[in-house]
């Protein structure tokens, strides 16, 4: 407690953050895991610091006893302290942001405890799904508003430096509770910020990863590729697990844009689930694609990319029909030829009407340059570049 007092007196935000973080070894000390530390805290610290540290010690006690619901409740009190500190600084017109590091530490732990509490309640069949995380998000939003509205401080002392960290924590919650629409105002806040290129690279990588994933779900594949590629390229080479996580979303996006991954890359990041998918799309092999998606369905669904990978079927049709064009070497292709190709790929209950429907979709999407002649039952394709490269199709 004397260390906390010293850190607060000297405005040492980094040291104070360590003393309030569950990453610091002090949380494993049984002498600090106290159920009722209020009196001891009041002897050493002034209000509201005594309340903050007491809540932190109660939190260590609850966490040690695996009572994450209580730990979460205690952590909410700890989070309120940086809020008070910022508000007090505003009222006194002080230009300072030393408490930002404290806020990073306690906000991170708040999200983790909310997640743990949620899982604990779920196992007991209690509570509403996502309720704890939503409440945690509300507190983090309160912190975010204070940081975002700091227009008085100079750039070095601005609380706006805390915005991206909080946004990343909020993204993690919104993705977890499947409320991606709540990300939009946060993305706008960063897009309009003059600090967006000056945050730490780690924070920017996390941000680009989540915004890239959102773009993917919104079917904005070019933006998804840009953001996820940035995240992958700038993620530290030692963080193999994170790079693999980024690739899980970057690979389907790249494939939809016509860039197929190498087997070497898939082996390096232990993503062999994509080997047959890549082979199938490249070869226009619908049979293999359906088999690969069925075989690894559990993995793809768990990652949330199964429906995105289903979209690869249209690319696979395009590559299969391109082979038909290359075999027949004519610009007037009988529809029956495509029907035979689909039957060869064991596509169930396919008829000439379905062939026309698939071709019409491919023409509409820009994957084939041509038109269907219903009178002659033929696909008439352009003499120049009838199957444009996927990367050029918007």
**How many whole angstroms separate alpha carbon 202 and alpha carbon 189?**
19
pLDDT tier at 347, thresholds 50, 70, 90:
confident
Question: Residue 144: is its pLDDT beyond 80?
Answer: yes
Burial of 157 (0-12, 13-18, 19+ CB in 10 A): middle
pLDDT at position 393, please?
A: 76
Angle, helices 2-9/49-64, rounded to nearest 10 degrees: 140
Higher-confidence residue: 151 or 226? 226
Q: Give yes or no for residue 240 having a pLDDT over 60.
A: yes
Report the alpha-carbon distance of residue 243 to residue 241 in Å, rounded. Answer: 6
In the chain, the percentage of residues whose pLDDT exceeds 70 is: 97
Q: What percent of the chain has pLDDT over 90?
A: 78
Q: What pLDDT was estimated at residue 225? A: 97
CB 209 within 8 A of CB 227: yes
Label the pairing between strands 378-381 and 332-334.
antiparallel
Is the confidence at residue 284, as pLDDT, over 90? Answer: yes
Q: Which of 22-36, 116-130, 158-172, 303-317 has the lowest mean pLDDT?
A: 116-130
Kindly report which listed range (59-63, 274-278, 347-351) carries the lowest average pLDDT score.
347-351
Between 88 and 290, whose confidence is greater?
Answer: 290
pLDDT range class, residue 90, cuts 50, 70, 90: low
Burial class (CB in 10 A: 0-12, 13-18, 19+), 271: middle
pLDDT of residue 156: 84
- pLDDT for residue 91: 60
Distances (CA, A) of 2 to 40, 43, 54: 11, 11, 13
Residue 245 CB: number of other CB atoms within 10 A?
A: 17
Q: Per-residue pLDDT tens for 40-76? A: 999 988 888 889 999 999 999 999 999 999 999 999 9
pLDDT greater than 70 at residue 371: yes
Do you know the residue count of the chain? Answer: 394
Q: What is the mean pLDDT of the chain?
A: 92
* Locus of tokens 């805290």: 41
Which of 26-30, 153-157, 370-374 is predicted with the least confidence, judged by mean pLDDT?
Answer: 153-157
């Amino acid at each position: 407690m004397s260390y906390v007092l010293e850190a607060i007196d000297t405005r040492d935000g980094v040291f104070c953050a360590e003393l309030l973080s569950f990453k610091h070894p002090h949380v494993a000390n049984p002498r600090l895991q106290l159920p009722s530390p209020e009196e001891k805290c009041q002897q050493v610290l002034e209000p509201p610091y005594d309340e903050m540290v007491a809540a932190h010690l109660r939190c260590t006690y609850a966490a040690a006893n695996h009572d994450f619901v209580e730990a979460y409740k205690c952590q909410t009190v700890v989070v309120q302290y940086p809020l008070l500190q910022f508000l007090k600084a505003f009222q006194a017109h002080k230009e300072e942001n030393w408490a930002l590091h404290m806020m990073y530490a306690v906000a991170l732990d708040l999200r983790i405890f909310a997640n743990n509490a949620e899982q604990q309640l779920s196992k007991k069949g209690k509570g509403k799904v996502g309720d704890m995380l939503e409440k945690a998000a509300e507190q983090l939003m309160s912190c975010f508003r204070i940081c975002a509205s700091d227009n008085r401080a100079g750039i070095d002392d601005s609380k706006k430096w805390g915005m991206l960290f909080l946004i990343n924590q909020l993204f993690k919650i919104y993705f977890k509770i499947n409320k991606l629409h709540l990300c939009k105002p946060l993305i706008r806040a960063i897009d309009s910020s003059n600090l967006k290129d000056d945050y730490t690279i780690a924070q920017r990588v996390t941000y680009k990863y989540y915004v890239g994933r959102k773009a993917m779900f919104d079917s904005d594949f070019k933006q998804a590729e840009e953001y996820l590629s940035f995240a992958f390229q700038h993620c530290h080479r030692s963080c193999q697990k994170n790079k693999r996580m980024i690739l899980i979303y970057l690979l389907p996006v790249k494939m939809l844009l016509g860039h197929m991954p190498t087997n070497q890359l898939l082996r390096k990041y232990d993503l062999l689930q994509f080997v047959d998918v890549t082979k199938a799309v490249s070869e226009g092999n619908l049979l293999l694609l359906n088999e690969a998606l069925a075989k690894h369905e559990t993995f793809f669904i768990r990652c949330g990319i199964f429906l995105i990978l289903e979209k690869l079927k249209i690319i696979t049709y395009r590559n299969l029909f391109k082979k038909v064009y290359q075999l027949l070497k004519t610009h007037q292709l009988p529809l029956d030829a495509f029907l035979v190709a689909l039957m060869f790929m064991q596509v169930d209950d396919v008829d000439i009407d379905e062939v026309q429907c698939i071709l019409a979709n491919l023409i509409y999407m820009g994957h084939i340059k041509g038109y269907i002649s219903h009178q002659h039952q033929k696909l008439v394709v352009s003499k120049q570049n009838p199957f444009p490269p996927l990367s050029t199709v918007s």
